[in-house]
Structure 1
Amino acid sequence: MRATILHEAGDVRVEDAPDPVIEQPTDAVVRTVRSCVCGSDLHPFHSLPAADGPTPMGHEFIGVVEELGSEVTGLNRGDLVVSPFAFADNTCEYCREGLHTSCPKGGWYGAGGIGGAQAEAVRVPQAQGTLVKLPTGVDSALLPSLLTLADVYGTGYHAAKQARVREGDTVTVIGDGAVGLLAVLSAKQLGAERIILMGRHKDRTDLGRFFGATDVIAERGEEGIAKLRDLTGGHGTRAVLEAVGHMPAYEMAVGVVRPGGVISRVGVPQYEDAPVGFGSLFGPNITLTGGPAPVRAYIDELLPAVLDGAVDPGRVFDRTVSLEEVPDGYRAMDRREALKVMIAF
């Protein structure tokens, strides 16, 4: 098969790779129909040492089941399925608590995982607990929105849920990437009355307004913090959803959260030292939460609104490429020429 392989920072290629096969009786092999490039894929694209490559890329996909291990039930060959970016058995104590990303039998696709989803086929461990059958065909116009259930929509929703966004809330969302925009949508779904989006790319923040943002702040750093506090009577907001993962975004989150509030981080942190002491979080009783989204816990909840058209999270895809064009997709996202690139097979 053909698959996307990152050799070192900046060097991503589409190459021949071994076809995936059933290795465990709990596996499935899925032929990829749609995949995409994630903002988190850009982290190794920027920094992977040659000594750590080559590594397969991609962790979001929709596909058709082609093979099933002997212990997999509830799925059939030919089913169209979506996979969360982290596989899990969906039965352990962590999964039952909605924490699928901590499943002892679980793991990841893509960089550092078992194999990449930016490829013609994927081996899915723990297939019965991981894959969700979709009641649509491979030619459905809903495929872009359904694909967001693999990661970005569930991750944005996780940010809002961890921040305990509730009816009538005022919420800050930091970051106008795909996750940040779908965090806006998620906060709106959970009843937020006012959603302040901190982002500086107008085409993206316009989409944020479509998803429910009531205010946009383009300024960064102390200037952005001051403007948000001015908008909120000097207080800041109780819920702050940080969807970037870089230190300046975290520092803005600390700057705009009100006493007693919650900072919910879902941007993969690209830093080790974050202020959590008396003057930053401890003194004003601020909660710091977030983490890798247990997307499988949210798919059943989010799927109906996608199917009936009540929400359209697939609007975050603004460019579609073939598998062979994936390196161009990485470069487009890296240059901010594309918000999120979908791969059609």
Structure 2
Amino acid sequence: MKAATYHGPGEIRIEERPEPELEDPKDAIIRVTHTAICGSDLWFYRGEEEHEPGSPVGHEPMGIVEEVGEEVRHVQPGDRVFAPFAISCGECEFCRKGLHTSCVNGGFWGPHGGGGAQAEKLRVPLANGTLVRVPERYADDEETLESLLPLTDVMATGHHAAVSADVGAGDTAVVIGDGAVGLCGVLAAKRLGAERVIAMGHHEDRLDIAQEFGATDVVSARGEEAVEEARALTNGGANHVLECVGAASSLETAAEVVRPGGNVGYVGVPHVESAAFLAPLFYSNASFTGGPAPVRNYAEDLMDDVLQGTLDPSPIFTKTVDLDRVPEGYRAMDEREAVKVMVKLDE
């Protein structure tokens, strides 16, 4: 089968790999029909994370079940499914708490250990706990499937930022970052009832999508000017701040725009050399909570809204490629020519 693999900074190749096989009674094999390239994939693409050459890549799979192990009961061959970026059993202490990214039996796709989702097929360990089944009536509805695909990661991650920031009805929220996660954070904050959502970013086209998603204000300035503008818009700071990047500058911005006693929900994978941003949080008694989104905990709830037509994150996909053009998709995201790239495979 064809699969995308990592071969050093700036080099993604499409290679022939052996088709996956069942290795455990709890496994399933899916034929991937849709997947995506994530902003977090750019960390290794840019050489800011180290991975072995030849590592599989991709962590946002959607497809059709082809084969299941004898202990799989939740899905069957022919089902349309999607999977979060984390593998989880659904039964351990942390899964029962809704913290599936800390599953004691699980792991992650891509270079982090599991198979890569940017491939024609994928072995899914712990299929009963990991896979989310799409109701049969929507299984061939392409428009719906494209709206569901962001639930594998970025929509649920934006939602996790909003939940961690304690966003509720009537609140004012500040969303830092205009990538796919930040844009989904805007959607999530509105979904949870925020009356005012201020989107902070540097790209006009992305901030236009933020406004389409419900942002009431946008801040496009940089550095201290952006902080001052956000603080002016919130009368000194916001109680609910969503940090959706993970860079030192965005974490520092979050620490400066949160109101004393407020909440920062952080979901950007942190890439920082200094933890100096923690001092302002400490002295303002602001909470700082978040981490990798437990997508599996949110999946059905978010899917219900997509299926009833009240949630549609699909506009984050501004470019679509087939599997052979995945390297082109990485380049487009790296050069800011695309917000997020969808990968569609032949069915």
TM-score scaled by length of structure 1: 0.97
How far does the alpha carbon of each residue in 1:218-277 deviate from its partner, in whole angstroms, 9 at most, with x for none? 0111110011111122x1100110101100011111110110011111011111422255
CA distance in 1, matches of 2:304, 2:201: 29
Superposed displacement of residue 51, structure 1: 7.2
* Per-residue deviation, 1:126: 0.4
**Alignment CA distance shift 1:51-1:231 (3 Å):** closer
- Count of equivalent residues: 343
Q: Distance in 2 between matches of 1:342 and 1:294?
A: 22
**Does 2:314 align with 1:314?**
yes
Q: Between the two proteins, what is the percent identity of the paired residues?
A: 51
CA separation in 1, counterparts of 2:254 and 2:51? 35
The one-letter code of the counterpart of 1:243 is: C
TM-score, reference length from structure 2: 0.96
Give the structure 2 partner of residue 108 of structure 1: 108
**1:126 aligns to 2:87 (yes or no):** no
Which residues of 2 match residues 262-341 of structure 1 at below 5 A?
262-275=263-276, 279-341=279-341
Deviations for 1:94-121, whole angstroms, at most 9, x for unmatched residues?
Answer: 1111100000111000122211000000
Partners of 1:125 and 1:272 in 2: CA distance: 35
Cα distance between partner residues in 1 of 2:47 and 2:298:
31
Instruction: List structure 1 segments (4+ residues) > 4 angstroms apart after TM superposition.
Output: 48-51
* 3-state SS in 2 of match to 1:8: coil
Residue 48 of structure 1: how far off its partner (Å): 6.2
Shift of 1:138: 3.5
Q: CA deviation at 1:332?
A: 0.3
Find the counterpart in structure 2 of residue 210 from structure 1: 212
The answer (yes or no) to whether the contact 1:8–1:49 under 8 Å persists in 2 is no
Give the aligned residue type for 2:321.
V
User: After superposition, where does 1:176-187 map in structure 2 within 5 Å?
Assistant: 176-187=178-189
- Output the aligned Cα RMSD: 1.3
Amino acid at match of 1:83: A
Note the residue ranges of structure 2 that are not aligned, 5 or more in a row.
Answer: none
Aligned residue for 2:45, secondary structure, equals helix
Within 2, Cα distance between the matches of 1:276 and 1:147?
34
What is the distance in 1 between the residues matched to 2:147 and 2:51?
37
Q: Which amino acid aligns with 1:134?
A: V
Partner SS for 1:111: helix
**SS of equivalent to 2:230:** helix
Aligned to 2:75: 75
1:171 and 2:176 aligned? no
1:74: Cα distance to partner?
A: 2.2
CA contact (8 A) 1:175 1:199 kept: yes
